[in-house]
């Protein structure tokens, strides 16, 4: 019941903190606030069961301090921007791989740690030959530095887990959407339309087709897998069971914003109509493993997108 959430002030992390606190956990958050915001955690700041440490996984003393008396680690701290990984690969290596290595080194020296939960990404699959893609798909050939860094983290976690005897759960996430998100196609569309409601620039050809899951469903999946997984290293996909393309997302956003006659201006993108280097055009994960444990998404991709738009629009 004593948990650490790295990146707990961020989008998914803060929703996880909410769920843990409501379940009676004693929660410590370690976050450098480069992406997260303290306001995401404001409801818990006065609770005796909540501790916030402004620190960085790249600083060993911060990591060691945050692990004191913890039993379960939820490792969400990372650079989430797939798009920037082609131009800033060293940032993704440091904030994903080096940060995870530092955490694992501290875990192996801390006797209280029983379990590590890690949020990986669908990008580790690259462009798989099988869609929906199961966890057992091989070989894993990421087409972005972001995906490669997440896969490197998975390998490190697996090696440390089986060497030093704790339990790990690795979750490969589809596109998670909802309140507090500060990046991604929905957020970008809203920000662009608030600045210019007449024209919406859309990266690529708009036919990028992917799975979108609401953050509330994601949190339920994370917690269920932790309690139900029986393997020392468990690997699970988390996503919706259908897809939606970028053109449909644009229509949902403009509809929810009440904007008519918007010109959709497509950039054309890279080869094959990708929005950027490393953009996977077709992504759908198989979620049968988690469903067999009792999890079920409550909404499809289009519904998750619509809910997210409503939550992200200025009140």
Cβ–Cβ < 8 Å for 120, 142:
no
- CA atoms in the 13 A half-sphere facing the CB of 254: 19
Domain presence at residue 258: yes
Domain shared by 170 and 234, yes or no: yes
The stretch 236-244 carries a mean pLDDT of: 98
Exposure string for 217-242, b = 16+ CB within 10 A, e = fewer: bbbbbbbbbbeebeeebbbbbbbbbb
What's the pLDDT score for residue 79?
A: 84
The residues with which 75 forms a beta bridge, in sequence order, are 6, 118
Please, where are the H alpha helices in 138-179?
A: 145-164
Domain shared by 127 and 154, yes or no: yes
The stretch 158-174 carries a mean pLDDT of: 97
Domain presence at residue 98: yes
Domain shared by 132 and 219, yes or no: yes
Domain presence at residue 277: yes
Q: What is the pTM of this model?
A: 0.96
Domain boundary pick from 203, 223, 238: 238
Before 215, cis peptide (omega within 30)? no
**Number of domains, the chain:** 2
Domain presence at residue 289: no
pLDDT digits (tens, 9 = 90+) for 45-84: 999 999 999 999 999 999 999 999 999 999 999 987 776 6
d(CA 34, CA 50): 20
Q: What are the backbone dihedrals phi and psi of residue 67, each rounded to the nearest 5 degrees, phi first?
A: -85, -10
Exposure string for 183-192, b = 16+ CB within 10 A, e = fewer: ebbbbbbbeb
Domain shared by 154 and 119, yes or no: yes
Residue 273 falls in which region: left (phi positive, over 0), alpha (psi -120 to 50) or beta: left
pLDDT digits (tens, 9 = 90+) for 135-159: 999 999 999 999 999 999 999 999 9
- At 85, the pLDDT band (50, 70, 90 cuts) reads low
d(CA 172, CA 33): 24
Domain presence at residue 44: yes
Domain shared by 152 and 196, yes or no: no
Domain shared by 152 and 205, yes or no: no
Domain shared by 259 and 163, yes or no: no
What's the pLDDT score for residue 86?
A: 64
The CATH code of the domain that includes 264 is: 3.90.25.10
Residue 184 falls in which region: left (phi positive, over 0), alpha (psi -120 to 50) or beta: left
Record the tokens describing residue 307, joined without a space. 């809910």
The stretch 204-208 carries a mean pLDDT of: 95
The stretch 194-205 carries a mean pLDDT of: 96
Domain presence at residue 41: yes
Domain shared by 189 and 157, yes or no: no
Domain boundary pick from 222, 238, 254: 238
Q: Which domain holds residue 149?
A: 2-176+212-238
d(CA 243, CA 1): 36
What's the pLDDT score for residue 284?
A: 98
Q: Identify which of 94, 111, 16, 112 has the alpha carbon closest to the alpha carbon of residue 57.
A: 94
The stretch 105-112 carries a mean pLDDT of: 94
What's the pLDDT score for residue 270?
A: 80
Cβ–Cβ < 8 Å for 237, 164:
no
Domain shared by 92 and 184, yes or no: no
Domain presence at residue 65: yes
Domain shared by 19 and 93, yes or no: yes
Domain shared by 220 and 279, yes or no: no
The CATH code of the domain that includes 40 is: 3.40.50.720
d(CA 174, CA 189): 19
Q: Identify which of 75, 80, 28, 77 has the alpha carbon closest to the alpha carbon of residue 52.
A: 28
Tokens 């994370």, residue? 222
Domain presence at residue 13: yes
Q: Identify which of 125, 217, 126, 206 has the alpha carbon closest to the alpha carbon of residue 176.
A: 217
Domain shared by 20 and 151, yes or no: yes
What is the pairing mode between strands 209-210 and 244-245?
Answer: antiparallel
Q: Does residue 40 register a pLDDT over 80?
A: yes
How many Cβ atoms are within 10 Å of 22's Cβ, its own excluded?
A: 9
């Amino acid at each position: 019941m004593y948990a650490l959430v790295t990146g707990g002030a961020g989008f998914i992390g803060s929703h996880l903190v909410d769920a843990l606190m409501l379940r009676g956990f004693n929660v410590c958050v370690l976050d450098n606030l480069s992406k997260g915001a303290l306001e995401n955690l404001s409801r818990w700041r006065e609770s005796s069961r909540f501790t916030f440490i402004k620190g960085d996984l790249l600083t060993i003393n911060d990591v060691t301090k945050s692990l004191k008396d913890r039993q379960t680690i939820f490792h969400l701290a990372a650079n989430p921007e797939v798009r920037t990984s082609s131009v800033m690969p060293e940032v993704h290596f440091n904030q994903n791989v080096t940060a995870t290595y530092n955490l694992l080194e501290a875990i192996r020296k801390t006797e209280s740690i029983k379990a590590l939960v890690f949020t990986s990404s669908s990008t580790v699959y690259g462009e798989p030959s099988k869609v929906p893609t199961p966890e057992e798909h091989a070989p894993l050939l990421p087409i972005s530095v972001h995906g490669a860094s997440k896969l490197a983290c998975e390998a490190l976690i697996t090696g440390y887990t089986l060497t030093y005897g704790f339990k790990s759960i690795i979750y490969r996430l589809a596109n998670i959407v909802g309140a507090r998100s500060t990046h991604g196609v929905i957020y970008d569309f809203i920000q662009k339309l608030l600045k210019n409601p007449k024209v919406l620039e859309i990266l690529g050809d708009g036919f990028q087709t992917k799975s979108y899951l609401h953050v509330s469903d994601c949190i339920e999946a994370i917690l269920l897998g932790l309690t139900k997984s029986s393997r020392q290293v468990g690997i699970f996909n988390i996503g919706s069971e259908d897809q939606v393309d970028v053109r449909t997302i644009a229509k949902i956003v403009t509809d929810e914003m009440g904007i008519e006659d918007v010109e959709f201006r497509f950039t054309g993108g890279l080869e094959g109509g990708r929005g950027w280097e490393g953009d996977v055009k077709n992504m759908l994960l198989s979620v049968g493993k988690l469903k067999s444990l009792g999890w079920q998404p409550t909404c499809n991709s289009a519904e998750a997108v619509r809910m997210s738009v409503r939550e992200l629009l200025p009140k």
